[in-house]
Chain A
């Protein structure tokens, strides 16, 4: 059996809405400085919860998207998605047209929440005041009869908004593997181009779970840090005193293009999206295997898929959730894959700064890798005061500069899905710089 001829995939536009910045430049500065987005929750009164802190997106409004009819159909996470996607299109300098709409795809990692808490409260007051639902009262309940609430609650709504706004008519899909969703979306998008389904894809992830139900759900699992008095230090992956993750929210998007088409139009290329690895731990729903089984296979597959070896990797963006179990399991996996180099390959978890963006995490961290390659800078693993002796890694505690050839980004989800994404410097693909000649001359 011979494989089909492989098409390469270029990252040509990026967009970010994160707890540390509502655009790429602001977010990047914070990631280099390790300036945490953790703070007391303002979106609702969380004072009674075990965890009262989170990394919220701050002072957000849609500046690039002003279509009010469209915005009426959105929940908070959709608004992040629309903004970050628009940033990515502006940055890429290309958009779907009527002529090539069917050759454009869209792949998004979507969050799991269904209804906004405010709507749930209304339904509770009207149809379930005593604590259980009276289905006959549901017939006259406002949210339960509001088609806008219905649309906003559908898992495919984010995809519908993005494909409609941008006129994307090819392969379009929405995926959810919990915290691995964003990485899975990037891998799915890359494969859609390789397989020839489409030539260009808008890919990303978006999520917002900072609500009484979202925070509540994670509190019930004791997954969140309870360092309520020191929110900026709450997320400290690989630190000996880490005690859970900091819930974040936001969106990350990229424009991906078939490599030759991107070069042909003189696009600025951030990086090659070069490899995808995808495994199931099949261990426990919430726990990672202590020996790194599962993540190990995902990383090895991603390297092989990219035609790279562990030796080529200059930067690892770790899943690094700041939970006791994940960080040890991931360390074991990195050592298994990198061998002796496991102690010297630079690693950081940008969740130390942004918190955990759940379904958006893998996409945002994929953007971080593309930026690291383009800028020759590694963002820090903030808040590392006392490294866990069992996390024997070269953690980037201050920004490092230098040419980054190949990056590896991990995302592991509840349910056991492991996603690993490998990106490569454009010069290591075809010897040409990522910037166009015009840009370089400017």
Chain B
């Protein structure tokens, strides 16, 4: 038998709150956090709503001001969520109380696996003042480079900053990865962490997903390719017309049951299994029949050693785009049929966090299991007939067990599924 993988710390930040319980409370209350974008003037823009973190304050996210020059907004939220999860787990304090060699060994057996959004467009605008100065003359551009551009520019751009800075701040030195796999990155980080613990590569891993996609050029592209809603994200609704961006991060501290027991750590839940499948249709295309998510779900259930009837609730990807929701519903219906547990989704409340979506929603799902509730989808008016049979509701439902299935889908036809049980 492989080691059991337990959750000893959770952290999350998005427009709906600064921790999983606060986010759950906002979702339960039916709160939509979509507000006019404040980062730039969207008066003339076709899209003007998104789930920005209100009153965003870099120092609330990361206290160390020196670090702010070296990292981006996306890194700030990632470091915040990871810090909260690590603090809650108590593992760093435990390690620091160990004698030197044992502490070093503990650090070497503590890993970090991150799902990150990769590069953004806005960061490259830092070169615009230089380009204006050079007036199209590259030799001038080269000569004036160091007088105009922040010398740390490349470091600020690194997609793996959260990984590196968590390592440095908390002294974690074990197995690590940075996954730049669009939306599935965060939830795939959970699967990779689970497998690393089962394989004995590490005794504990902090898994993180972070992204702040609300930047002008990104919003414009998503709008142009038809992925954004005009006003409201209505998952599985007959009138749905797209998704909406949010921003934030989620983090989970995962440990072998032995590692958690060794220091009497609080156990919030257990990761029972994961599944992952790709559809290979290209960057944006997805299959209508739900083949990818259906395979990911089936794998996750088999990996967890449970049957569909054991699942107490499903937190669907539910991003609100016509194609994704319809195919996701088809996949859920195919696997669960009449054994359908209550189904919900969270993006309607705080938006699509891209690389952070799956892992943050998993942290909120865990909070919902503990609260014995399946929050309703407040923006749902009329279920799309194509999704008939899907057990979604605008009202809260009751989970039929202490197990949740969390789904996540991303560009390149990727699909991840994780099965989690509340402690």
Contacts and interface: CB of A to CB of B under 8 A. Distances in A.
Contacts of A30: none
Nearest to B126: A213
B160 A176 contact: yes
Interface string A171-184: 11111111000001
Given A114-B121, A155-B118, A279-B108, A131 B180 contact: no
A120 interface: yes
Interface stretch (B143-151, B307-315, B324-332): B143-151
B160 A124 contact: no
Given A112-B118, A136-B44, A120 B140 contact: no
B212 interface: no
Given A154-B283, A156-B182, A416-B168, A163 B412 contact: yes
Interface in B215-229: 216-217, 220-221, 224-225
B116 interface: yes
Contacts of B164: 280, 282, 285, 414-417
Interface in B404-423: 410-414
Contacts of B225: 147, 150
Interface stretch (A214-222, A367-375, A388-396, A397-405): A214-222
Contacts of A279: 108, 173-176
Nearest to A110: B180
A337 to B, nearest CB: 14
Interface stretch (B13-21, B243-251, B271-279, B367-375): B271-279
A155 B283 contact: no
B327 to A, nearest CB: 15
A120 B176 contact: no
Nearest to A155: B118
Interface string B228-268: 00000000000000000000000000000010000000000
B274 to A, nearest CB: 10
A220 B151 contact: yes
Contacts of A325: none
Given A154-B283, A216-B142, A221-B155, A282 B163 contact: no
B221 to A, nearest CB: 4
A50 B224 CA distance: 40
B217 A124 contact: no
A282 B181 contact: no
B188 interface: yes
A195 B199 contact: yes
A94 interface: no
B1 A297 contact: no
Interface in B185-227: 188, 192, 195, 198-201, 216-217, 220-221, 224-225
Nearest to B163: A415
Interface string A133-172: 1011011000011010011011111011101101111111
Counting chain A CB atoms within 10 Å of each CB, the highest count among B3, B40, B167, B192 belongs to B167
B163 A280 contact: yes
Given A49-B142, A176-B116, A278-B177, A163 B413 contact: yes
A195 B200 CA distance: 12
Interface stretch (A21-29, A39-47, A260-268, A339-347): A39-47
A434 B44 CA distance: 64
Interface in B150-167: 150-155, 157-161, 163-165, 167
B160 A138 contact: no
Contacts of A171: 276-278
Given A156-B414, A285-B155, 8 more contacts: A48-B141, A120-B124, A135-B42, A167-B280, A170-B277, A219-B146, A280-B173, A416-B167
Interface of B: 1-3, 40-42, 44-45, 70, 107-108, 111-112, 116-121, 123-125, 127-129, 131-133, 136, 138-146, 149-155, 157-161, 163-165, 167-168, 171-182, 188, 192, 195, 198-201, 216-217, 220-221, 224-225, 258, 276-284, 292, 295, 410-414
26 contacts: A46-B142, A48-B140, A50-B142, A110-B180, A112-B118, A124-B128, A138-B217, A144-B217, A154-B118, A160-B411, A164-B281, A169-B278, A178-B158, A178-B160, A212-B141, A216-B153, A217-B157, A220-B151, A220-B154, A279-B173, A281-B167, A282-B167, A414-B164, A415-B161, A415-B178, A416-B164
A-B pairs, top 4 by smallest CB distance, nearest first, are: A48-B142, A155-B118, A415-B164, A48-B139
